[in-house]
Amino acid sequence: MAFPEVRLRRLRRSETLRSLVRETVVDAGDLIYPLFVVEEPGVKREISSMPGIFQLSVDNLKAEVEEIARLGIPGVILFGIPRHKDETGSSACHPQGVIQEAVRAIKKNVPDLLVVTDVCLCEYTSHGHCGVISNGEVDNDRTLPLLAEMALSHAEAGADIIAPSDMMDGRVRAIRDKLDSNGFTNIPILSYAAKYASGFYGPFREAAQSAPQFGDRRAYQMDSANVREALREVEQDIAEGADIIMVKPALSYLDVIRRVRDTYNHPLAAYNVSGEYSMVKAAVQNGWLDERRVVTEILTAIKRAGADIIITYHAKDYARWQIEGR
């Protein structure tokens, strides 16, 4: 059968019909909201390149996470901005460190909100790289025990999910072993499995004060041209014990999300990163784009590509629109 019997426009005539045949719907329950936590008290500082996103001190987290939970967003991912940075990022593992305190504060106030912690040294090292430096290079194997220690200290503070984003080889196994041998066999690992060296992280580095002081991250994060290599990264992380895998960034990598979805059965997350958010915000502030429309389109595209979970700075806005639309 073909036109004129077939008329695809028949099912587009009203919003009720369109909604009946809609294939992909993003729910606030699919989203995770990133939070930037600073160590000094009394801070609520907007990030200039990310309008609407703030650095918050631990004492300001209570109100924030209560709002997030009220909006129906199931979880947050935490990034820490410590007072003290050194060569090896030692403040990352401190039991009273910024993330450890933040996790305790959130779990105390909103126990059901899932707390995901980002495990990476870049916010804690004086040089801003994701691992320790030996002879001018990021030293993979010397970094692994530090990441494992950091993950353990997050679990001890009460984190629900550990999310390594450093891109060292073997870090999922190192973290899994460390967690298991300390009784945290039930804590899942969400690995940033296919994380690309991307220009879209620019605003995040302002937000997290984590820009590398020399060179860049291309010697450990992936080359943006590669998709077969992404499948190898995912394969390795699954073999090492990752429970959830992630592709990051999202928008320039929708094909990677689709390939990973079609190849593996693990829950799949995608990170709609800072630069992707900032582009939308800038255009909206100029009156060039309709925010609600384009954000809905973007999040739907990421889910349609195959992501089950989306980490996004738009989460609170999207959840609010969903509630308003009911």
Minimum CB separation of residue 72 from ligand PBG in Å reads 22
Does 204 help bind ligand PBG (rule: CB under 6 A)?
yes
Tell me which of 44, 107, 178, 248 is the catalytic residue.
248
Q: Which is closer to ligand PBG, CB of 111 or CB of 208?
A: 208
Q: Residue 165 and residue 173: Cα distance in Å, rounded?
A: 14
Is 248 tagged catalytic? yes
| Under 8 Å between Cβ of 190 and 243 | yes
Q: Which is closer to ligand PBG, CB of 120 or CB of 190?
A: 120
Q: Which string of DSSP letters, residue by residue, matches 190-251?
A: EEEEEEB--GGGHHHHHHTT---SSS-STTTSBPTT-SHHHHHHHHHHHHHT-SEEEEESSG
Does 122 help bind ligand PBG (rule: CB under 6 A)?
yes
Does 130 help bind ligand PBG (rule: CB under 6 A)?
yes
Minimum CB separation of residue 102 from ligand PBG in Å reads 16
The binding track of 165-194 with respect to ligand PBG, each residue x by CB under 6 A or -, is x-----------------------------
Q: Residue 102 and residue 79: Cα distance in Å, rounded?
A: 10
Is 195 tagged catalytic? yes
Does 49 help bind ligand PBG (rule: CB under 6 A)?
no
Q: Is the bond preceding 95 in cis, omega lying within 30 degrees of 0? A: no
Q: Which string of DSSP letters, residue by residue, matches 290-316?
A: -HHHHHHHHHHHHHHHT-SEEEETTHH
Locate 140 and state its tokens: 């993979």
Q: Residue 109 and residue 171: Cα distance in Å, rounded?
A: 31
Does 274 help bind ligand PBG (rule: CB under 6 A)?
yes
Please identify, among the stretches 40-48, 60-68, 115-123, 235-243, the one whose residues bind ligand PBG according to the rule CB under 6 A. Answer: 115-123
Does 201 help bind ligand PBG (rule: CB under 6 A)?
yes
Q: Which is closer to ligand PBG, CB of 68 or CB of 251?
A: 251
| Under 8 Å between Cβ of 194 and 260 | yes
Residues belonging to the active site: 195, 248
Q: Which residues bind ligand PBG (CB under 6 A)?
A: 118, 120, 122, 130, 165, 201, 204-205, 217, 273-274
